[in-house]
Chains A and B, each alone.
Chain A
């Protein structure tokens, strides 16, 4: 009789454990889909408003400056096509006459899938970045305001069970409300599911080095442990008043790892050994250098890198071309470097997508070459592209064409979630209508 009861109860308990949803320490209620097609995704927000004509169109000056019929591809690490033959201004040296040699022997487009024209959901930077990070452009989303809807970092951490240091956002500055994009204001998600963030040019720049670069080393057991214990007592007393201060949720081990990474960066800066692209003469290229260091240290499941120097195009078309060429150089370097990280090589998907495009017609500002500049506000500014390389993306495939868009900016985050095994149906209430993984649009 006792044995029979035991068998009955244990069977019921077992069935319950299998069928009932369970709550993991990360706060995750449901299991991830588990179908990862790669262990790592690197998403590059490229790169501050890229005009479709100079990017996928490969028309260099031909479609932007009257009387300058010189087409060509200045993004030859990413796209397949011959570079311009005349009027070279985007390279290095006096007048930029020396194009930067390609890093990759084969363009990323030939290694992966190019979505030749994709719909941007916003013609502005912050709106565009939000559309990539949160997969939507909700009404009421303002500048200097955290995303209204959950971000990809929160979906990954809450529903995918990823740790805080599994998700990183590497910003090229602290301007444009960029530091607000690592988690949303959504009450069901928020900071405890946020991604880690560094703006390395500040953190590891002059002021970062001065105020953060000389941290005292404490013994983890003898000194740090009692220090945290006393802090916990003080916090518990304060929590009795109903006031809690949520944090990003880095574990103590993760915090120690971040501190060690910071110390390493300060050491490398002093020694001049930071990994940098061969040509590092602007913020984007330097940011990618630090992003490579970060990938090498943390091997995160998901990381976002933001580039934005091409926004010089508002008043300096020549500067825009230079920055676009360097952004391509930086992405080529990034992909090449990823292949040198054993845990990430052959197991990483790279997604590049601009947050917005640029106008069809120029404004009235002339640069040193008497070339007109371009803002971003018209329909042409919604014309962007997406380049996806890695598991699941067919090499050399081109989907869509100029005037025949396939996909939208919000698809990038859905693709990342899809690749990393998160049940994307949990995200749909907050997403822009029709948002679909690029993997489902091949």
Chain B
């Protein structure tokens, strides 16, 4: 075999190898594309029930009456019950003011002038901020905060030097969620 013949064979063999590689690549691509297709029949193969994800406050759909609001507010702030006479008189006060949010605000700011309100000190709040936030959510919203809520409130209190437990309670008592049960 001459040198020329040998060279020809090498070239031929090299061309055949390239074609083989191309064929292999095409086969692999086709297989990959085929394997990535979603099979609509496969949905639900995990045999789990659908679960609607909601926040803990989602089941609060009923608006409190004035009587319910003041009764619960008194209990939350004073950690003690309220007499029916006071509930009746406070309901009349609420009826006498058109802007109910303003009426609640004025009432709460009056109550905070009462030394019997059960409030932690600022030092106690800052010493265990996460604990304070959890306790406040439980006290006013009857639920635990989500991690997102806890983080936001923690940062907010930490970054606002004038925030006191009183102002935090004020916000919660005035919030829309507190108006529902």
Residues of B within 8 A of A255 (CB): 99, 102, 105
Which A residue sits closest to B173, measured CB to CB?
A231
- Complex-state Cα separation, A34 to B180, whole angstroms: 42
Q: A192: shortest Cβ distance to chain B, in Å?
A: 12
Residues of B within 8 A of A239 (CB): 176
Residues of B within 8 A of A169 (CB): 98
Q: A97: shortest Cβ distance to chain B, in Å?
A: 36
- Complex-state Cα separation, A239 to B153, whole angstroms: 17
Residues of A within 8 A of B55 (CB): 237, 240-241
Q: Tell me, yes or no, whether A365 is within 8 Å of chain B by CB.
A: no
Residues of B within 8 A of A214 (CB): 110, 113
Question: How would residues 113 to 150 of chain B score, 1 for a CB under 8 Å from any chain A CB and 0 otherwise?
Answer: 10000000000000000000000000000000000010
Q: Interface stretch among B1-9, B15-23, B30-38, B155-163?
A: B155-163
A237 near B96: Cβ-Cβ < 8 Å = no
Q: Tell me, yes or no, whether B29 is within 8 Å of chain A by CB.
A: no
- Complex-state Cα separation, A250 to B57, whole angstroms: 27
Instruction: Count residues of chain B with CB under 8 A from any CB of chain A.
Output: 46
Residues of A within 8 A of B96 (CB): 171, 174, 179, 197-200, 202-203, 208
Q: Among the listed B93, B102, B162, which residue makes an inter-chain contact with A226, where contact means beta carbons less than 8 Å apart?
A: B162
Interface of B, helix, strand, loop or mixed by DSSP: helix
B110 near A216: Cβ-Cβ < 8 Å = yes
Instruction: Count residues of chain A with CB under 8 A from any CB of chain B.
Output: 52
Q: B115: shortest Cβ distance to chain A, in Å?
A: 12
Q: Among the listed B57, B61, B89, which residue makes an inter-chain contact with A211, where contact means beta carbons less than 8 Å apart?
A: B89
Q: Which residues of A, 229-257, contact B by the 8 Å Cβ criterion?
A: 229-231, 233-235, 237-241, 243-245, 247-248, 250, 255
Q: Tell me, yes or no, whether A258 is within 8 Å of chain B by CB.
A: yes
Q: Tell me, yes or no, whether B78 is within 8 Å of chain A by CB.
A: no
B110 near A213: Cβ-Cβ < 8 Å = yes
B109 near A194: Cβ-Cβ < 8 Å = no
Closest 10 CB pairs of A and B: A197-B98, A202-B96, A199-B96, A230-B171, A234-B175, A238-B177, A207-B89, A231-B171, A174-B95, A203-B96
- Interface of A with B (CB < 8 Å)? 164, 169, 171, 174, 179, 182, 194-200, 202-203, 207-208, 210-216, 218-219, 222-223, 226-231, 233-235, 237-241, 243-245, 247-248, 250, 255, 258-259, 262
